[in-house]
Copies of this chain bind each other. A is one copy, B any other.
């Protein structure tokens, strides 16, 4: 990875330059809208009738857990129209392609292609075994490396599922097995670097990655303006552009990138986080005024299990850049996932459903939008960050209730780390 001291500053202009750099290699992913979900999002939770639609179960998803004790109480009526940025249709099926192509492109600019080809690049799977995020980043790096003819080394726990290993191998990467703890993996990475001179490309905590991930916001901004120009009925009456964007946050590469991309535009940026077992480390950290460095959660949003990284933290604590972080429960994530698939017909991974879950079910967020947006309403961008799951994983998530107990029972402990059956494996 390029030395941090030589990186471009974290500014909107740098994101523009990153976009120019990666444009030939990535998809300009489509933006989708869905009438039914707009109506649901603009209806108070207490007024969503369980029998009023074909997806009764999803539409009566549990309210915020602090608030279910008060049936029939007032619930907010925000006026919103949603624009889904379909990064599930990005290359390798997730936004991670942006950061990987940008980081490798910058490395090649800095060191020269021949040097990078000689040394190669390396990354590893992160904290939890079989975690989706590292899988996406590893696949993205493998693709970027193959595109430029650069050797890529991917360090993975030896008990990774065959399909995930095959996915990375298919882009020509050299897969190296390690033990399952982070110490064991880091030792193998160090060995690869020692033997080959390969450069480590981390998944989120680096300016080149952050700038690459931010590029999707520039596209979304332009695409929404063009869509509203063509058909004003897609948006909130009289408003010609986005008012806000909701972005998933795990390690924070994407959220800090989008905060950077939209800084100064007046478009508010919100983070969306799972809450299960303390996965909402960024939300809690902002409250405490201190970054939480360790997280141990098995949320179904498996791309968001990581604590926020140092550089992303320095961006999201800037109140002129981030407007707030809101979290949701596992059931709310499942309900949003179900709606995205069944109503918008978009196949996404659980992590990608978290922003929609905040919009539909987090009552604090909804009250804030009702107050800030008023009658006029907001056009809200929803980042669908990836679609790398399988029909079998979806089957496990939505199997009959008795099956879920089996799933919970399938947790085992290996090498002192908690290991879950990979719901997105």
Question: Complex: how many Å from CA A91 to CA B343?
Answer: 10
Query: Which residues of B are found within 8 Å of A338, using beta-carbon distances?
Result: 390-391
Contact of A53 among B30, B170, B342, B346 (CB under 8 A): B170
Question: Which residues of chain B are within 8 angstroms of A347 by Cβ–Cβ distance?
Answer: 341-342, 344-347
- Residue pair B345, A391 in contact (C-beta under 8 Å): no
Complex: how many Å from CA A375 to CA B163?
Answer: 32
Do B342 and A345 touch (CB < 8 A)?
Answer: no
Q: Which of A271-279, A307-315, A395-403 contacts B (4 or more CB under 8 A)?
A: A395-403
Per the CB 8 Å criterion, the residue count for chain A at the interface is 41
Q: Given B54, B167, B395, which contacts A54 in the complex, CB threshold below 8 Å?
A: B167
Chain B residues contacting A395 (CB-CB under 8 Å) are: 394-399
Copies in the complex: 2
With a cutoff of 8 Å between Cβ atoms, the chain B residues found around residue A35 in the complex are 91
A166 & B52 in contact (Cβ 8 Å cutoff): yes
CB contacts under 8 Å to B, within A304-340, are: 337-338
Q: Tell me, yes or no, whether A348 is within 8 Å of chain B by CB.
A: yes
Which single residue of chain B is at the shortest CB-CB distance from A29?
B345
Chain B residues in 8 Å Cβ range of A30: 30
Q: Which B residues touch A114, using CB under 8 A?
A: none
CB distance from A144 to the nearest CB of B (A): 15
With an 8 A cutoff between CB atoms, is A51 at the interface? yes
Q: Which of B88, B89, B345 contacts A93 (CB 8 A)?
A: B345
- Are B89 and A345 neighbours in the complex by a CB distance under 8 Å? yes
Taking a contact as CB atoms under 8 Å apart, the answer to whether B167 and A391 are in contact is no
A-to-B contact residues, CB < 8 Å? 30, 32, 35, 51-56, 86, 88-89, 91, 93, 162-164, 166-167, 170, 337-338, 341-348, 387, 389-392, 394-399
8 contacting pairs across A/B (C-beta < 8 A): A32-B89, A52-B166, A53-B170, A55-B390, A88-B345, A338-B390, A344-B347, A391-B397
Q: List 16 additional contacts besides A54-B163, A89-B345; criterion CB under 8 Å.
A: A30-B30, A54-B164, A54-B167, A56-B163, A338-B390, A338-B391, A342-B389, A342-B390, A344-B347, A345-B387, A391-B394, A394-B394, A394-B398, A395-B395, A395-B398, A395-B399
